[in-house]
Structure 1
Amino acid sequence: MLLASLNPAAVAAGADLGDAVRIDGVSLSRSDLVGAATSVAERVGGASRVAVLATPTAATVLAVTGCLIAGVPVVPVPADVGAAERRHILADSRAQAWLGELPEEAEGLPHVPVRLHARSWHRYPEPSPDAAALIIYTSGTTGPPKGVVVSRRAIAADIDMLAQAWEWTPQDTLVHGLPLYHVHGLVLGLLGSLRVGNRFVHTGKPKPAAYARAVRELGGTLLFGVPTVWSRVVEDGDAARALAPARLLVSGSAALPVPVFDGLAALSGHRAIERYGSTETLITLSTFASGERRPGWVGLPLQGVTTRLVADDGTELPHDGESIGQLHVQSPTLFDGYLNRPDATAEVLGDDGWYHTGDVAVIDSSGMHRIVGRESVDLIKSGGFRIGAGEIETVLLQHAGVREAAVIGAPDADLGQRIIAFVVGDAQPDELIDYVAQQLSVHKRPREVRVVESLPRNAMGKLLKKELAQWV
């Protein structure tokens, strides 16, 4: 059963929790979740797929849960999505209705409201593990977003793998304030909690004070955040120190800067768990609760996951901690393909079952992985050298005059690509160029440093390097 903690028989027998889910001022017990979500299931059962405006509310929790009970695939739609992108998601997914909250523009779809106090105790058979659970639209970089079809089997496998790696149990209280339309907030945070059986607390927004309060007042033990969240926590020293009683701090969705890792360790006593994955693969790599946590490295393959590094000519590269190659993944958590896009699916998913992540990485002899970045923007080929942008960014962030840093390669007639760094801070460009040359090989120094007010990021805190390239 995908949502194992919501087994109606177990709930009826007393396996309940006073507030299994806390979100937007609403507390739901497991009995509430089963009764209200089953009422939702009765209203959407038989639909091919429905759209859910993924606001951080109890209505969203019940909408998603009800669809999973009924076996209806959910299309999570970001609440802040633009009109053109929303129309694309609805048309491409062929969603039949809006379930739960209604956006300002319904685009002609009927609306099925979620009633928080409605209850039904109808028993639904568990859908096939191979059935689609979610269709999550990825941010488009070269075109409109693509719908990633994620099966129930993949979600269950990933949560179980992470529960083992993080020693995640029903005794945990999981806390985050992340969006409910991405893997991090929706699959790991909400669905993970409904499978494992722990208490789930959503803070509304991922503010440092809210995380500190959740630990202090609600006993938060397992905290999820993106690097931007943890950076703000470190800046608020009191909030960081308040997280000391937690069990694990987990960072993902982008690389955690080493200075932020070190700051969390110094202030909270926690060396953060880092993990790696994508919408297409879910989470495949992670550091372990009982293992080494090395700043700048995202960990080992989870149980059942296999990885390889591939050179430009297709040959496999050694796991020597130095060789940079394309990262390929095999995993029971792989997606079923892009909706309506067999061509795009074939570009990244080989007949041999290997998913081509589009990321470049380094693997050491112990199997620990370091993500260099996206092959398209983070692997810089300059003067005959293959250089990872992330390595330079890490060094720049260690300079006292730099708060944020992003490095890209720009076309250059002589070098092929020249290294350009964008930084937020008060350091002088020439000073930073010399600093990198002193810390790394000279050929890895930026040829140009631009000091800017801020760096472009998406809702999950990821740098938008394609946009930076436009600045050049």
Structure 2
Amino acid sequence: MSSLFPALEAGSGRSALRFGDRSLTYGELRAAAGSLAARLDGAERVAVWATPTLETAVAVVAALLAGVPAVPLNPKTGERELTHIITDSRPAMVLAAPGDELPEPLAELTRVDVIPHGDAPPPPEPEDAEAPALIVYTSGTTGPPKGAVLPRRAIAATLDALEDAWTWTSDDVLVHALPLFHVHGLILGVLGPLRRGGSVRHLGRFTTGGVARELAGGGTMLFGVPTMYHRLAEALDGDPQLAKALAGARLLVSGSAALPVHDHERIAALTGRRVIERYGMTETLMNTSVRADDVEPRTGSVGVPLPGVDLRLVEEDGTEITAYDGETVGEIQVRGPHLFTGYLNRPDATAAAFDGDWFRTGDVAVRDADGSVRIVGRKATDLIKSGGYKIGAGEIENALLDHPGVREAAVTGEPDPDLGERIVAWVVPSDPAGPPPADELADHVAAQLAPHKRPRTVRYLDVLPRNDMGKIMKRALHG
């Protein structure tokens, strides 16, 4: 296949990467990655201590140029989980920034310090499109994390599909502050700009001031997760410079979880700029997105399937759903060149993940008449069967968030002898001293949606449990 990074071949003086006050041009990145790639020659795979630094970006690019699969490691991973990942993936070495202290599970690995400068041209990239490029470990919510093997063609297919959907060009300057051990921050946020020949500015740590500064200083795109956009929305009223900077961006993209409707509307009202959402996961990279050229707002939608992606909804028995009615709920299945090749060392899990050549995402959604997808949650935790109805938790959460007394909300199902499952709302009130009454919230949901979607139980919390990406960990919610 062709090069993942055509702009590296020219090695220009154009800015490629900037992390804080440290940066590399395409020429400097080419030399630094080329020098490191030579040291990786012959390795079966390598681990990357994925801090939000210039060194991580250089390490991953070097591994891709060398044709050596890279395993990004979350620096916050606990010892038990990290030991599992290292034992499972068996990297020959670990790449890290000089001075990084590595935990005990990495002690037996050969350490290679990443130096972000060099003088060697990169080797020829592998021509095999199926060659493993990255092994990214899943979150492990239902057991030990599994290593999703992502081939070179999946990375190219997803990034080229997003070029089409987002009119992404070499003139774009991407701003983000996402971690670099997962798909959103690493593949979209670093490899995406490099494949387009544009540039990325990583904040290191998210702040509303950092976002305002970088967008006002030439940034054209912002990638974030709902927690980040919620903080931006809250800061907008008292920060005209932030509002001006967001208004000047070409594209605001949110992913990894649903962005609440009220944050959508607040940002749009104060900046004139709408946030678009996309849908992907570790095993599939990107499946759908709202298009940059859509003229109609698509609040609550993750858009239409990307070029090259086949998507269908199925019933629990595997029957395909043909309705585009915005009501019929089914599991999302996808197929296309953007898919992973399988789970490392887990042929059983790989086989179970597929229905023929269709990947079972475990996400449930409805489709509107125009083909756009609205996700209502995870099949395992967000599809609630109550009183003979199939109900998606996501739409109830959005209805709750529309209540002025609700700051955050999550919805789950619990066993009920009469209904099968009853709907339970977990609410962080806007005013902890005066939370809205449970019957008021139930009536609010029933009036917006339907009576059978009202919460039967409301539980109040100080904070919802979330992971590093801001996703609510529903399995941690207990009665």
TM norm structure 2: 0.94
* 2:173 counterpart of 1:173: yes
* 2:453 counterpart of 1:449: no
Distance 1:454 1:60 in 2: 32
Distance 2:243 2:38 in 1: 44
What does residue 306 of structure 1 align with? 310
* 2:437 counterpart of 1:428: yes
* 2:89 counterpart of 1:88: no
What does residue 438 of structure 1 align with? 447
2:343 match: secondary structure: coil
> What do residues 410-461 of structure 1 show as CA deviations (whole Å, max 9, x unaligned)?
1112211111000111322222112112222111100111111000111111
2:209 match: secondary structure: helix
What does residue 162 of structure 2 align with? 162
What does residue 467 of structure 2 align with? 458
Distance 1:2 1:464 in 2: 38
The AA in structure 2 aligned to 1:3 is L
The AA in structure 1 aligned to 2:268 is A
Equivalent residue for 1:260, pick from 263, 266, 273: 263
What does residue 408 of structure 2 align with? 404
Q: Identify if the C-alpha distance between structure 1 residues 384 and 122 changes in structure 2 by more than 3 Å, giving closer, same or farther.
A: closer
1:120-131 alignment to 2 at 5 Å? 120-131=120-131
Give 5+ residue unaligned stretches, structure 2: 430-434
Shift of 1:272: 1.0
What does residue 327 of structure 1 align with? 332
What does residue 343 of structure 1 align with? 348
**Once superposed, what is the RMSD of the aligned Cα atoms?**
1.3
* 2:40 counterpart of 1:44: yes
What does residue 16 of structure 1 align with? 13
What does residue 64 of structure 1 align with? 60
Identity %, equivalent residues: 54
Shift of 1:58: 1.2
Distance 1:48 1:293 in 2: 47
1:275-424 alignment to 2 at 5 Å? 275-291=278-294, 292-317=296-321, 318-351=323-356, 353-424=357-428
Distance 1:155 1:2 in 2: 11
Give 5+ residue unaligned stretches, structure 1: none
* 2:220 counterpart of 1:221: yes
Q: Residues 157 and 338 of structure 2 are in contact (CA less than 8 Å); yes or no, is this contact kept in structure 1?
A: yes
Shift of 1:125: 4.1
Distance 1:44 1:323 in 2: 50
Q: Residues 326 and 375 of structure 1 are in contact (CA less than 8 Å); yes or no, is this contact kept in structure 2?
A: yes
What does residue 114 of structure 1 align with? 114
Q: Residues 272 and 293 of structure 1 are in contact (CA less than 8 Å); yes or no, is this contact kept in structure 2?
A: no
Q: Residues 298 and 368 of structure 1 are in contact (CA less than 8 Å); yes or no, is this contact kept in structure 2?
A: yes
Shift of 1:3: 3.1
1:243 match: secondary structure: helix
Shift of 1:326: 1.1
What does residue 72 of structure 2 align with? 76
Distance 2:51 2:121 in 1: 26
Q: Identify if the C-alpha distance between structure 1 residues 21 and 5 changes in structure 2 by more than 3 Å, giving closer, same or farther.
A: farther
Distance 1:28 1:198 in 2: 12
The AA in structure 1 aligned to 2:334 is V
Distance 1:366 1:80 in 2: 42
Q: Residues 64 and 125 of structure 2 are in contact (CA less than 8 Å); yes or no, is this contact kept in structure 1?
A: no
Q: Residues 227 and 255 of structure 1 are in contact (CA less than 8 Å); yes or no, is this contact kept in structure 2?
A: yes
More deviation in 391-400 or 123-132? 123-132
> What do residues 61-87 of structure 1 show as CA deviations (whole Å, max 9, x unaligned)?
111111011000000000111111111
What does residue 5 of structure 2 align with? 4
Distance 1:139 1:123 in 2: 33
Distance 1:158 1:451 in 2: 40
Distance 1:231 1:85 in 2: 30
> What do residues 39-70 of structure 1 show as CA deviations (whole Å, max 9, x unaligned)?
11011111000000100111111111110110
What does residue 182 of structure 1 align with? 182
What does residue 30 of structure 2 align with? 34
> What do residues 352-409 of structure 1 show as CA deviations (whole Å, max 9, x unaligned)?
x101110111012211100011001111001111111111101100000111100000
Q: Residues 24 and 58 of structure 1 are in contact (CA less than 8 Å); yes or no, is this contact kept in structure 2?
A: no
Shift of 1:307: 1.0
Q: Residues 260 and 300 of structure 2 are in contact (CA less than 8 Å); yes or no, is this contact kept in structure 1?
A: yes
Distance 1:302 1:454 in 2: 35
Q: Identify if the C-alpha distance between structure 1 residues 315 and 87 changes in structure 2 by more than 3 Å, giving closer, same or farther.
A: same
Q: Identify if the C-alpha distance between structure 1 residues 441 and 256 changes in structure 2 by more than 3 Å, giving closer, same or farther.
A: same
What does residue 245 of structure 1 align with? 248
Distance 2:301 2:135 in 1: 29
